[in-house]
Amino acid sequence: MNIDVFNGDADGICALLQLRLAYPLASTLITGVKRDIDLLNRVSAEAGDQVVVLDLSLDKNRLPLAELLNKSVSIFYMDHHYAGEIPIHPGLTSLINTDANVCTSLLMDVYIKQRFTEWAVTGAFGDNLDTAARETAKSLNLTAQELLQLKQLGICINYNAYGMCIDDLYFAPDELYRLLDGYISPFDFIRDKTEVCQQLINGYNEDMDLAGKVKAEYKTDSTAVYILPDEKWARRVAGVWGNQLANQYPDRAHAIVSNNRQGGYQISVRAPLDNKVGADELCALFSGGGRKAAAGINHIPYQQLTNFVAAFQIQYK
């Protein structure tokens, strides 16, 4: 049995699209909303099965990973988030790079020898790595309009993964992956699936318009904290709006706070683009995780928000 486990955002989806275009294979898909990062807990596999894991922190999946390896399951693991100590095991092949300017889609592009670079660029744009995406795209000789199309698609695929549960999303990530699967070029998908693209674009634009009306609750010269209302659009927009704010104010760190279903807050953190460090370390203090430039906290009690804001401002003072 073959199992593909991947983050439901643009980076995870575009990395898997490249892999399965290069190495077609029928597989079971395991994914979820962007914040479902401990997905290896959902894998049921036996000796001889092969599992691919993309765009998920090894550190957050350490225990189920060890259990699968002990059952003689073969695992290919590619990621760019904090990993901690990487196990040495004959059943594990790992390609992990935590550099703040790479993502899984770009790692996959190198791994499969630049065969479907348009998808890598799409994933990088979705992961808010504009500079890396444009640098990678140079080999494609795209027009400015074509580059903008890839950026828009990447942002919208990424945006679709944000929410507390699948019901918050326009498309379940595995459903969206299947709609994209098999398209050698993102431009073919854009041409053939006009209604899907338009639904993603319209939803994104409507949500961003609502987010743009929210004022910062706490603000300094180097940080800003926004608290969103308990609405579906707010749960969807949190991360992508954080990316937009980071691009708009590159010397400022941002935290987007929204309600979760556990009776507390979830928080998306974006380090300043001018200093892409510390987001993972900050969120780890509150049982969260991620990467240096962008990280998150799935749950923090309401009464701990002031503690988070203080730590946030100290981290980026």
Q: What are phi and psi of 290, to 5 degrees?
A: 145, -140
Grouping H, G, I as helix, E, B as strand and the rest as coil, residue 7 is coil
Do 196 and 234 fall into the same domain? Answer: no
pLDDT digits (tens, 9 = 90+) for 145-175: 999 999 999 999 999 998 888 999 999 999 9
Residue 290 is predicted with a pLDDT of 86
**Confidence bin at 225 (pLDDT 50/70/90):** very high
CB 35 within 8 A of CB 298: yes
- The answer to the question of residue 295 being in a domain is yes
Residue 210 lies in a domain: no
Mean pLDDT computed over 209-222: 94
Under DSSP, the state recorded for 215 is P
Query: In terms of domains, do 197 and 282 share one?
Result: no
Q: Pull the structure tokens for residue 5.
A: 């486990």
Which of these, 299, 251, 248, lies nearest to 271 by C-alpha position?
A: 251
83 and 179 part of one domain: yes
User: Which domain does 169 fall in, by range?
Assistant: 2-203
- Cα-flanking dihedrals φ and ψ of residue 109, to 5°? -55, -45
Largest CA distance in the chain: 55
The CA angle 138-147-33, to the nearest 5 degrees, is: 110
Rounded to two decimals, what is the model's pTM? 0.84
Give the domain CATH number at 268.
3.10.310.30
Q: How many domains does the chain have?
A: 2
Note whether residue 61 is domain-resident.
Answer: yes
Q: Is the same domain home to 221 and 189?
A: no
